[in-house]
Amino acid sequence: MSSSTTNPGFLRRAYAWPRLRVMLLAVAALGLLLSLPWEGSAAVLFLRLALLGLVLLTVFAVTERWPRRLPRPIARWAFQIVLVAAVVPFATALVYSLTTMGDSTPWVHDAKRMAGFGMISGFSLLISPWIVMVAVHRDISGRAQRQALAFELERAQLEQKALDARLRLLQSQVEPHFLFNTLANIRELVEQRSVQAPAMLQHLIDYLRAAVPRLNEPTSTVAQELELVRSYLDIMRMRMPDRLRYSVDVAPAVLEVACPPAALLVLVENAVRHGIDPSESGGAIAISARTVDERTCVVEVSDTGLGMGTASFGLGTGLDNLRERLRLLLGPEATVELFANTPRGTCAVLRLPLRAGHDA
């Protein structure tokens, strides 16, 4: 016997509990059937059947790996059935020899034992091929199922890699458009020796401290987004102090809700660029977040700027990008929509699914 059939892996497979259970059930059924005409000890009958079952189980396990290659017309399952059936009389003779050791009369010269040998061999020849066929079918089905699961896992991993690449591409497009303008403003303030220069620089540092560590993170939270948005609005308020006001009203229960990085910033930046900044009188931005049911969180960014339908209003790539990232990260339940605000301005509504374990 080759070394591959004596290693622990082979033994675990050959005598795995599902196989032993089938063998024991077959032994019990055949033992009950043969106990009716059996004239000897029932314990000896079951012992002989159990030993025979172990021998046949070993032969079945060995033929799974040996020989490594069979002639092309011969299927391995057919080879296993034929070989197990062929081994039955020899295995039964071996079992009888082991269980009659020490007897004065050899079992082959005992008429009753020869009758028992015939019964065990005959019934074993009848049922062993069927048991082997069932075992082979289960093994083939198990291998096919494991292969299908492996293919599915590999496909899921490839899809995840493609999704990660797509998300990174989309996130790379989310850039703080105001960064260079802010740096230019700071330079002007420094040149003018304005007392506002240190404050604006500090707001920019706060913004970068909130934004930079999350550039490569796939997800963020409402709390992290609020930190980023407040720093952004503080900078913008210094750039237009008389024309921008903002307020934040967020329920504590939604602070840990997941959302794409810079999602809230896109909405706020859109309100500033297309609503507040083009308006001579400026306006106010109100940010609110709350749960509307057990599954959904709603984040609203409303402004009192020029509003939808004006020449300066435009969706741009920012909101299209956000919609795509929402779909990829959180599924179809995550959406963003724009509505006209009353009496003027725009309201952006971001719907985010509440994740399992979130306490709403």
Which stretch of 26-30, 190-194, 303-307, 344-348 has the lowest confidence by average pLDDT? 190-194
Cα 191 versus chain centre, distance: 56
How many CB atoms neighbour CB 194 within 10 A? Answer: 14
H/E element holding 283?
strand 283-291
- The tally of CA atoms less than 13 A away on the side-chain side of residue 349 is 12
User: Has residue 196 got a pLDDT over 50?
Assistant: yes
Write the DSSP string, 128-155. Answer: HHHHHHHHHHHHHHHHHHHHHHHHHHHH
Per-residue pLDDT band for 283 (boundaries 50, 70, 90) equals very high
The C-alpha atoms of residue 237 and residue 235 are separated, in whole angstroms, by 5
* 84/8: higher pLDDT: 84
For 315-335, how does the pLDDT look when each residue is reduced to its tens digit (9 = 90+)?
556 677 788 888 888 888 999
User: Has residue 176 got a pLDDT over 60?
Assistant: no
Cβ burial 158-169 (10 Å sphere, 16+ → b, else e): eeeeeeeeebee
DSSP label at residue 315: -
Asked if 160 and 185 sit in the same domain, the reply is no
Per-residue pLDDT band for 304 (boundaries 50, 70, 90) equals very high
Asked which of 112, 134, 167 is the last residue of a domain, the reply is 167
Highest mean pLDDT among 160-169, 191-200, 212-221 belongs to 191-200
* 213/298: higher pLDDT: 298
User: Has residue 358 got a pLDDT over 60?
Assistant: no
Closest C-alpha to 199, from 181, 212, 186: 186
Asked if 156 and 190 sit in the same domain, the reply is no
Asked if 226 and 153 sit in the same domain, the reply is no
263 within some domain: yes
Closest C-alpha to 185, from 176, 175, 196: 196
Asked if 232 and 302 sit in the same domain, the reply is yes
Query: Which residue range forms the structural domain that includes residue 124?
Result: 3-167
Asked which of 132, 167, 202 is the last residue of a domain, the reply is 167
Asked if 221 and 139 sit in the same domain, the reply is no
How many CB atoms neighbour CB 105 within 10 A? Answer: 9
Asked if 133 and 215 sit in the same domain, the reply is no
Task: Compute the mean pLDDT over every residue in the chain, rounded to the nearest whole number.
Answer: 81
Asked if 235 and 149 sit in the same domain, the reply is no
Asked if 255 and 192 sit in the same domain, the reply is yes
300 within some domain: yes
358 within some domain: no
Asked if 206 and 156 sit in the same domain, the reply is no
Asked if 85 and 153 sit in the same domain, the reply is yes
Q: What angle do CA 63, 68, 70 make, to 5 degrees?
A: 85
Domain count, the chain: 2
- Domain with 217 in it: what CATH number? 3.30.565.10
User: Has residue 138 got a pLDDT over 80?
Assistant: no
Asked if 87 and 230 sit in the same domain, the reply is no
Asked which of 142, 167, 192 is the last residue of a domain, the reply is 167
* 357/349: higher pLDDT: 349
97 within some domain: yes
Asked if 142 and 197 sit in the same domain, the reply is no
359 within some domain: no
Mean pLDDT, rounded, for 106-114: 88
User: Has residue 253 got a pLDDT over 70?
Assistant: yes
43 within some domain: yes
For 212-240, how does the pLDDT look when each residue is reduced to its tens digit (9 = 90+)?
666 566 678 999 999 888 988 988 888 88
Three-state helix/strand/coil letters over 182-198: HHHHHHHHHHCCCCCHH
Highest mean pLDDT among 17-26, 214-223, 328-337, 345-354 belongs to 345-354
User: Has residue 7 got a pLDDT over 80?
Assistant: no
The answer to whether 324 and 269 have CB atoms below 8 angstroms apart is: no
pLDDT of 66 reads: 80
pLDDT of 350 reads: 94
